[in-house]
Structure 1
Amino acid sequence: MKKIKAGIVGGAGYTGGEMIRLLINHPQAEIAFINSSSNAGNPVTRIHADLAGDTDMLFTDKLSNDIDVLFLCVGHGDAKKFLDQNPVADNVKVIDLSQDFRLKSRDTSGENRKFVYGLPELNREAIRDAKNIANPGCFATAIQLGLLPLAKRGILGEVYTTGITGSTGAGQGLNATSHFSWRANNVQAYKTLQHQHINEIHQSLRQLQEDTKAHVHFVPWRGDFARGIYVTSIVHCALDVAELQSMYELFYAGQAFTHVLDKMIDLKQVVNTNKCLIHIEKQGDKLAIHSAIDNLLKGASGQAVQNMNLLFGFDETTGLRLKPAAF
C-alpha cells in the first residue's frame, strides 16, 4: 500500500517532536517536510536529540502541497493565522493541535475549511468522514473521557474537577514556572475556574446531554514532573458503584485506547502511551472519577495520529502501540 505523505508545521516544539517520533515509525505514513522557520536548515536532531539515529531530516521554512495531511503543531492563535496566510490545497487534510478551531461557536465566516472536533470516543464516525480535525486539548481530553458516560445517561450536574499536569504542558519556551529550580518539589494551582479548555468540555458534554445542568468547575495544578495528566472529578450520583462500573465499561467497550479499570490507576501506567485509564469510586452519594493520560500523546500528538488513522481508513491503533514508562 502506498504511504500517505505528511507535513508538520511547528516541528521544533514538544508536540512537534512527538509527532515526528510517531510518524517516522508509522508503517503507513512518511514525513514530507518538517517546518520551523527559526530552525530552517538545521538537523531535526539538533532540537530533538532523542531522535538521533532515527532521522537525518532537516527543518525547513518551505511548504509543499504535495502531501495528504498537514499537522499544525503551533501555538494557540497561530493555526488560524497560518491557514489565512498560506495557500493549503483543498485536497490536503488538516489536523490542528491548537485550540483555534475547537469551538463551534467561533466565527468561521469566510473560511472554506470546516473542522470536526477530534475526540474519537465521541465523534468517531464524523472523524472518518471529515476533511479537517480540531484536535482536543490535553486537560479537555482527560476530563471529558471521565464524564462522557454520565452525560450519555443524562445524569451529569455540577462537576468539581482538579487535575495536575507535567511541565511539558506549558510548551518548550522557558518562563518563570517552567524552570527546573521552580518546578522541582513544587506544586501550584493556576487559571483557577477559567482554564481555556472548559468551553470545549462543555460543548462535548452538551452534545450528549442537551440540558445545561452539566457544568465543570476546574482547578488545574502545575506538577513537578515532565509529562502526564491526572484528573479527579467529583459529582453527585445516586447510582451504585456496580451499576456505574458496568455503565462505564459498556460506554468504552471496543474503544482502542480508553480503558476502565476496577482498581486505582496511576500516572506511570499511561506515560508514553496513547491510553486513557479511568477508575471510579464512591463514598455515599459522591462519585469520584479518576482519569489519566500522557499530555503529549493522548492529549496531543498521539490523538492526532489516531485521528489521521481514522481519516485515511487505517486501523486506529497503527503506529500507536506504545509501552508505558512504568519503571
Structure 2
Amino acid sequence: MIKAGIIGGAGYTAGELIRLLLHHKEVTIDFVYSTSNAGNKISAIHQDLVGATEQSFTSTVNPNIDVLFLCLGHGNSGKFLSEHQFYNHTKIIDLSNEFRLTDDAVFQRKEFVYGLPEINTKQIQNTSYIANPGCFATAIQLAIIPLAKHKLIKNDIHVNAVTGATGAGTSLSKTTHFTWRDNNFSYYKPFVHQHLGEIHQTINKLQGKNEHNVHFLPNRGNFSRGIFATVYTEFEGTEKEAKDIYTSFYKNTAFTFISDQPLHLKQVVNTNKCLIHIHKHENQLLITSCIDNLLKGASGQAVQNMNLQFGFEETEGLQLKANYF
C-alpha cells in the first residue's frame, strides 16, 4: 500500500479524488489537508462519503508520504510547495494549471511532465512530478491529437464545448447560483480560454510548429457535470479514413474509445472515459468528444497518472459505470 496526501480537500475535485482513493486497493489516504475545515469530518463536507470514511480534515501535513495530490486553486500550488517540504521519494500530482506549460514546468528543480496518458505514457511512468491537464483541454486534445500525430491539421480548428456547473468550482459567483444556472445557457471567455495554451503546446509537439488557430468557444450548461465538445476542421480524406486513424491511434488506450453512434453526456458521467465520434460533411470533419470534467477532466485522470507512476494497473480504482439512467 502507498500513502497519499491531499492538499485543498474541500473542493469538487478533492471530493472525487477522496472517493476514488478510498476504493483503490493499492492506496491508503494518510491525510486530507484543509485549513478552513481542520477537525471536521471529511463526510461532513463531502456528504456522499458518509459511511465510507471516518477521517477528518487536518491543518498539518506528513512529509513522509508516497504521493501528494495538489487540489488548490490556480496559482497556489507553487506557494504551498515553497512553504512545505516533502521526502525525496514523494511523487507530486498537481491538478491546477501552474506547471502545465513548458515554460513553467520546472519548479524548485522539480520538472513536471504533462499528464495526458494517451500521448505521454512513458514520460509519466518515469517521472515523480505530474501536471494534470485541464478539463476542457483534455476533451479537446483527445479530439484532435490523432490528426496532429499524422500532420493532418492543415486549417483552423473550431471548437464549441459546454461544461457543467462543477467546472466553476465550489466558490459561489453570479453564474453558479441555481437561480441563474437553471434553465440557462451562456458562453464565457470566447477565444481566450486559459486551456488554449496547453492545447497549442500539444499540437506543436505532435505536428511541429502549427500556424493554424484553435477557435474555442466555451459554454456554461445548466447541468452539474460533464463536457460535450464539438470540434471541426477541413479534412481531405473520407470519413472511413478518419475513423481508421482514430481507431488505430486509440486502440491500446485504457479509457478513450471511438463510438459508431452519436454521443451524449450520460455515456461518460461518473466514468474516466473519453468517448469520441467521427462524422464527415462535405469537406468538414466533425469530431465529438465527451468526458466527465471531474473524472477524466481532473481527479480520475490524476489517479490514472498515479497508477502509471507506481506501476499499478492503469484502470485500478477507475472501473466505474456511467450514471446512464
Distance, in Å, in 1 between the alignment partners of 2:90 and 2:158 is 40
Distance, in Å, in 1 between the alignment partners of 2:247 and 2:105 is 37
Provide the residue aligned with 1:309 in structure 2: 307
Cα deviation, residue 141, structure 1? 0.0
Distance, in Å, in 1 between the alignment partners of 2:196 and 2:103 is 14
Structure 1 range deviating more: 41-50 or 86-95: 86-95
Q: Say whether 1:215 aligns with 2:213.
A: yes
Structure 1 counterpart of 2:26, from 25, 28, 33: 28
* TM-score normalized with structure 1 length: 0.98
Cα deviation, residue 107, structure 1? 7.3
Report the identity percentage: 53
Structure 2 counterpart of 1:125, from 122, 125, 137: 122
Cα deviation, residue 84, structure 1? 1.3
Provide the residue aligned with 1:188 in structure 2: 186
Provide the residue aligned with 1:137 in structure 2: 134
Distance, in Å, in 2 between the alignment partners of 1:119 and 1:183 is 31
Structure 2 counterpart of 1:112, from 86, 109, 113: 109
CA separation of 1:305/1:107 partners in 2, compared to 1, >3 Å: closer, same or farther? closer
Cα deviation, residue 213, structure 1? 2.8
Distance, in Å, in 2 between the alignment partners of 1:184 and 1:90 is 47
Distance, in Å, in 2 between the alignment partners of 1:90 and 1:217 is 42
Q: Which amino acid counterpart does residue 129 of structure 1 have in structure 2?
A: N
Secondary structure of 1:305's match? helix
Cα deviation, residue 65, structure 1? 1.4
The answer for unaligned runs of 5 or more in structure 2 is none
Provide the residue aligned with 2:70 in structure 1: 72
Q: Which amino acid counterpart does residue 162 of structure 1 have in structure 2?
A: N
Where in structure 1 do 4 or more consecutive aligned residues deviate above 3 Å? none
Q: Which amino acid counterpart does residue 289 of structure 1 have in structure 2?
A: I
Contact 2:65 2:87 in 1 (8 A): no
Q: Deviations over 1:33-76 (max 9, x none)?
A: 00000000000011000000000000000001121000001110
Q: Which amino acid counterpart does residue 25 of structure 2 have in structure 1?
A: P
Q: Which amino acid counterpart does residue 295 of structure 2 have in structure 1?
A: L
Cα deviation, residue 187, structure 1? 0.5
Distance, in Å, in 2 between the alignment partners of 1:28 and 1:215 is 43
Aligned length: 324
Q: Deviations over 1:66-100 (max 9, x none)?
A: 21000001110011111111112221100000000
Structure 1 counterpart of 2:256, from 249, 255, 258: 258
Secondary structure of 1:71's match? strand
Contact 2:21 2:317 in 1 (8 A): yes
Q: Deviations over 1:88-142 (max 9, x none)?
A: 222110000000000002274x621110000000100100001100000000000
